[in-house]
């Protein structure tokens, strides 16, 4: 009698245990968000192509650094979707803080249209924002894990006053931005 009850109790514990493990564990194992532990910005970088990749991290917003190896799954997702966005936004921030004439023409918030193009066997990431003017950011991956970035602005419908901004530069694998060209044609 006693033994029978114990067996039933043990069975209940096992069933409850299995249910908890199958339903609750996946909730706890949600993909990690790769972000700055200090300011929570997602504009973070790791030295791609070096031994410190997915280990040494630097926040491009507040410049703090930390050491962490994110799970393979999270890191793969970051590299596939977030990396290009980080390059784009870091370059736009650079332009905003170095060229007030360009900053004046930037919207408060960009609404990007994204397109992936193949040009001469290379992948080109193309972002376009259109309002009073058209901003385009094209990012091409170079060997050695650097990125060639080209940012262009042209006003819409002002055919008589051609005004164009062009910025060309490199975003390197360590997250350093090097400006190569800047034109503002009035
Ligand atoms: Zn930060």
Q: How far away, in angstroms, is 162 Cα from ligand 1 center? A: 39
Identify whether the C-beta of residue 73 lies closer than 8 Å to the C-beta of residue 31. yes
Q: How far are the Cα atoms of 48, 105, 139, 161, 165 from residue 144, in angstroms, in the given order?
A: 9, 33, 15, 40, 28
Dist CA 149 CA 103 (whole Å): 17
Q: How far away, in angstroms, is 10 Cα from ligand 1 center? A: 50
Q: How far away, in angstroms, is 76 Cα from ligand 1 center? A: 21
**5 or 52, which is more confident?**
52
* pLDDT tens by residue, 80-115: 999 999 999 999 999 999 999 999 999 999 999 999
* pLDDT tens by residue, 12-67: 989 888 888 877 776 666 668 999 999 999 999 999 999 999 999 999 999 999 99
Q: What is the pTM of this model?
A: 0.81
Confidence of residue 170 (pLDDT cuts 50, 70, 90): very high
Q: How far away, in angstroms, is 138 Cα from ligand 1 center? A: 25
pLDDT at 166: 95
Q: How far away, in angstroms, is 40 Cα from ligand 1 center? A: 6
Could you count the other beta carbons within 10 Å of the beta carbon of residue 54?
19
Identify whether the C-beta of residue 135 lies closer than 8 Å to the C-beta of residue 104. no
Q: Where are the alpha helices (DSSP H) in the chain?
A: 2-28, 72-77, 83-98, 100-103
Identify whether the C-beta of residue 147 lies closer than 8 Å to the C-beta of residue 170. yes
Q: How far away, in angstroms, is 4 Cα from ligand 1 center? A: 59
Identify whether the C-beta of residue 90 lies closer than 8 Å to the C-beta of residue 171. yes
């Amino acid at each position: 009698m006693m033994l029978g009850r114990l067996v039933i109790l043990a069975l209940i514990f096992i069933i409850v245990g299995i249910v908890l493990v199958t339903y609750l564990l996946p909730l706890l194992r949600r993909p990690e968000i790769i972000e700055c532990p200090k300011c929570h910005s997602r504009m973070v970088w790791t030295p791609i192509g070096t031994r410190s990749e997915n280990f040494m991290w630097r926040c491009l917003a507040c410049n703090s650094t930390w050491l962490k190896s994110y799970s393979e799954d999270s890191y793969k997702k970051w590299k596939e979707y977030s990396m290009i966005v980080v390059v784009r936004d870091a370059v736009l921030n650079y332009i905003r803080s170095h060229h007030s004439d360009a900053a004046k023409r930037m919207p408060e918030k960009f609404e990007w249209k994204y397109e992936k193009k193949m040009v001469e066997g290379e992948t080109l990431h193309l972002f376009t924002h259109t309002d009073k003017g058209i901003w385009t950011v094209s990012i091409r991956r170079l060997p050695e894990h650097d990125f060639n970035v080209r940012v262009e602005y042209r006003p819409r419908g002002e055919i008589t006053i051609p005004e164009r901004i062009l910025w060309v530069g490199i975003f390197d694998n360590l997250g350093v931005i090097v400006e190569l060209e800047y034109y503002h044609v009035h």
